[in-house]
């Protein structure tokens, strides 16, 4: 893999080459004539300009010698020498000024400011990084100052969607409490406001009453209704009115996107099989200079999720060289989308692969269809069964050390507990809380090179939820070495915070 090399451009390359007449020697052989022609063509135009000036100077020198031969005219001779020096200086300064002007023009048109991927923290932001904002904006939003304090002590997501039922909770900043929102008084525009707080601006906002009788006890401690108000609160907290209990024991189930729906029900994938078109409509191919490098998943009309190591390990940080290919199960040319910004978690550790998550924002919204739509992000405290309906997909190597698959492949896998995966027979303590294992302990079915950044999804309640991101593993499909994935549930705050703080909400 190569890094970008700037092309050197002569200041004369922007002008059409002058037509030149060349003398031909009739007695020369064809080979000799060829040499002469090549010699003439290789003459630098700058040398031609300099020689012309030199000829004029020689003429002036001859004239000045005649003029200065008379002692009576010595003063005039001195004046002439001074004027000649001044003319030479002015010519040199003019050439330098013209050259600088042309170089500045070339730099503006041929070498624009390169946008680079940003390491993005929740709190510990770095203001001076040259990152991927199209308008050159500072990495740290104006409302946040650089800080070394931890995420847990400072940041509170303003909105939580809890469990697979997507129960809505809103954070009250004045009380430091998450309130379960009651369905009484709930209006459609409240749903739009909440989804915008999460970083989404979808036309599809689905809400419905949800019985609280079967909800986790942790969700039944504080309640609030969303009141109408003649004022315009700056945030959702201004709409909250705490109550003892929800009338009719009903909360709000909220969905901000029409996500997780596959149009076809039924492998870096080892031991899998070819997928059908539309089965995984959120799956994308991320391509660097036209070559497939990693997978990814669509989470909204302008946001794609992938792994941080796809950009950091090979120094693939130049945003303009990435394209998102979506809506096809083939690696052949498909609909591509330019990338506007890339953010990877600033706590990502290349040595341990911890915090291996990244987000890409496309330049324009992607139009959804039966073969292109978002996957659902997991909910807070949502549980997935170890032997549930979970799948991995990608165009990666079909075996260790093999080649990319020309078609999207899929494989069913089992989730493996961190306790088991961290045992000495497996990864011996290398699995952090931001990771999870999936596959089979006897190997054979696994993700592989080229699948990185792709989704691990599980079905729950008729929808597909992204549980993990293909991250790392020892080999592909080896016994006692299952695939290791980023545990997305533990990094939801970072994902939502990135969506919320972007200058243009999708």
Between 17 and 194, name the one with better pLDDT: 194
d(CA 145, CA 325): 36
d(CA 457, CA 438): 11
Q: Assign 202 a pLDDT band (cuts: 50, 70, 90).
A: low
Q: Assign 106 a pLDDT band (cuts: 50, 70, 90).
A: low
The separation between CA 434 and the C-alpha centre of its own chain, rounded to angstroms, equals 20
Nearest to 269 by CA among 406, 458, 405, 453: 405
What pLDDT is attached to residue 377? 96
SS3 169: strand
Sign of the alpha-carbon dihedral angle for 405, 407, 408, 409: negative
Determine phi and psi for 67, rounding to 5 degrees: -65, -35
User: How high does pLDDT run on average in the chain?
Assistant: 77
CB 126, CB 107: distance < 8 Å: no
Q: Which of 120, 354, 356, 446 is flagged as catalytic?
A: 356
CB 302, CB 506: distance < 8 Å: yes
Q: Assign 17 a pLDDT band (cuts: 50, 70, 90).
A: very low
Answer yes or no: pTM beyond 0.75.
Answer: no
Q: Tokens representing 100? A: 């600088």
SS3 364: coil
Domains along the sequence of the chain with CATH: 156-255 (3.10.250.10), 269-309+321-501 (2.40.10.10)
* Range scoring the smallest mean pLDDT among 44-48, 63-67, 316-320, 484-488: 44-48
d(CA 246, CA 186): 12
Between 290 and 120, name the one with better pLDDT: 290
Residue 11 pLDDT > 80, yes or no?
no
Query: What are 261-270's pLDDT values in tens digits?
Result: 887 665 445 5
Query: What are 354-370's pLDDT values in tens digits?
Result: 999 999 999 999 988 88
Query: What are 207-263's pLDDT values in tens digits?
Result: 999 999 888 888 899 999 988 765 555 667 778 899 999 999 999 999 998 899 887
- Matching residue, tokens 């002058």: 18
Q: What is the mean pLDDT of residues 277-304?
A: 94
Q: Which residues of 35-51 are buried (b: 16+ CB within 10 A; e: fewer)?
A: eeeeeeeeeeeeeeeee
Residue 420 pLDDT > 70, yes or no?
yes
Which stretch, 191-195, 331-335, 450-454, has highest mean pLDDT?
Answer: 450-454
Nearest to 393 by CA among 295, 505, 257: 295
d(CA 456, CA 447): 10
Q: What is the mean pLDDT of residues 172-201?
A: 88
Contacts of 353 (CB under 8 A, 6+ apart): 309, 435, 471, 472, 484
Which segments of 78-162 are extended strands (E)? 118-120, 159-162
What pLDDT is attached to residue 44? 33
Q: What is the mean pLDDT of residues 312-332?
A: 92
- Matching residue, tokens 């080896």: 478
How many CA atoms within 13 Å lie on the side-chain side of 292? 28
- Residue 341 designated active-site: no
| Residues β-bridged to residue 459 | 464
Nearest to 12 by CA among 55, 56, 37, 48: 48
- Residue 356 designated active-site: yes
Between 384 and 199, name the one with better pLDDT: 384
Between 144 and 178, name the one with better pLDDT: 178
d(CA 467, CA 430): 19
Distances (CA, A) of 385 to 227, 391, 415, 426, 461: 38, 13, 7, 21, 12
Q: Which of 133, 183, 190, 309 is flagged as catalytic?
A: 309
Nearest to 372 by CA among 406, 309, 325: 325
CB 497, CB 157: distance < 8 Å: yes
Distances (CA, A) of 20 to 17, 27, 262: 9, 22, 66
CB 137, CB 122: distance < 8 Å: no
d(CA 204, CA 181): 20
Residue 64 pLDDT > 70, yes or no?
no
d(CA 198, CA 300): 11
How many CA atoms within 13 Å lie on the side-chain side of 133? 18
Nearest to 497 by CA among 118, 121, 168, 167: 121
CB 413, CB 440: distance < 8 Å: yes
Q: Assign 131 a pLDDT band (cuts: 50, 70, 90).
A: low
What pLDDT is attached to residue 97? 82
Residue 9 pLDDT > 80, yes or no?
no
Q: Assign 205 a pLDDT band (cuts: 50, 70, 90).
A: confident
Residue 69 pLDDT > 60, yes or no?
no
What pLDDT is attached to residue 96? 81
Burial class (CB in 10 A: 0-12, 13-18, 19+), 55: exposed
d(CA 483, CA 391): 12
Residue 32 pLDDT > 70, yes or no?
no
Q: Which of 452, 460, 489, 497 is flagged as catalytic?
A: 452
Burial class (CB in 10 A: 0-12, 13-18, 19+), 131: buried
CB 178, CB 224: distance < 8 Å: no
In the chain, what is the greatest distance between 2 CA atoms, to the nearest angstrom? 118
Question: Beta 177-181 vs 223-226: how paired, if at all?
Answer: parallel
- Residue 452 designated active-site: yes
Q: Assign 455 a pLDDT band (cuts: 50, 70, 90).
A: very high
């Amino acid at each position: 893999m190569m890094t970008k090399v700037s092309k050197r451009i002569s200041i004369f390359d922007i002008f059409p080459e002058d037509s030149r007449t060349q003398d031909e020697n009739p007695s020369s052989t064809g080979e000799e004539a060829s040499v002469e022609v090549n010699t003439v063509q290789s003459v630098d135009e700058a040398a031609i300009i300099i020689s012309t000036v030199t000829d004029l100077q020689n003429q002036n020198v001859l004239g000045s010698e005649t003029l200065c031969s008379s002692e009576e005219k010595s003063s005039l001779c001195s004046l002439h020498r001074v004027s000649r020096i001044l003319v030479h200086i002015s010519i040199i300064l003019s050439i330098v000024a013209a050259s600088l002007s042309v170089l500045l023009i070339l730099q503006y048109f041929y070498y624009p400011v390169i946008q680079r991927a940003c390491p993005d923290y929740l709190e510990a932001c770095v203001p001076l990084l040259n990152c991927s904002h199209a308008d050159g904006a500072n990495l740290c939003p104006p409302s946040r100052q650089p800080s070394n304090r931890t995420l847990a002590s400072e940041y509170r997501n303003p909105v939580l969607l809890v469990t697979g039922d997507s129960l809505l909770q809103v954070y009250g900043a004045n009380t430091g409490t998450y309130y379960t929102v009651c369905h009484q008084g709930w209006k459609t525009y409240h749903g739009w406001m909440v989804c915008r707080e999460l970083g989404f601006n979808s036309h599809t906002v689905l809400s419905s009453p949800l019985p609280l009788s079967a909800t986790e006890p942790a969700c039944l401690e504080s309640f609030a209704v969303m009141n109408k108000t003649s004022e315009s609160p700056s945030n959702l907290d201004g709409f909250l009115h705490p109550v003892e209990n929800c009338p009719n024991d009903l909360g709000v189930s909220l969905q901000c996107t029409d996500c997780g729906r596959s149009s076809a029900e039924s492998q870096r994938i080892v031991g899998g099989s070819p997928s059908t078109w539309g089965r995984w409509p959120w799956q994308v191919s991320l391509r660097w200079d036209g070559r497939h490098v990693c997978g990814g998943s669509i989470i909204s009309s302008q946001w794609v999720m992938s792994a941080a190591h796809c950009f950091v390990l090979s120094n693939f940080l130049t945003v303009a060289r990435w394209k998102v290919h979506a809506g096809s199960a083939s690696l052949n040319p498909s609909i591509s989308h330019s990338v506007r910004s890339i953010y990877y978690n600033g706590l990502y550790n290349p040595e341990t692969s911890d915090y291996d998550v990244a987000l890409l924002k496309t330049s324009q919204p992607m139009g959804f269809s039966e073969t292109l739509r978002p996957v659902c992000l997991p909910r807070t405290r949502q549980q997935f069964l170890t032997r549930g309906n979970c799948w991995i997909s990608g165009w990666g190597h079909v075996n260790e050390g093999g080649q990319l698959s020309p078609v999207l492949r899929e494989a069913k896998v089992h989730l493996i507990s961190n306790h088991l995966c961290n045992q000495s027979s497996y990864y011996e303590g290398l699995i952090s809380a931001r990771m999870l294992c999936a596959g089979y302990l006897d190997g054979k079915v696994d993700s592989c090179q080229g699948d990185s950044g792709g989704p691990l999804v599980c079905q729950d309640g008729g929808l597909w939820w992204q549980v993990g991101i293909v991250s790392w593993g020892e080999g592909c499909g080896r016994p006692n070495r299952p695939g290791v994935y980023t545990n997305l549930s533990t990094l939801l705050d970072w994902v939502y915070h990135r969506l919320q703080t972007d200058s243009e909400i999708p």
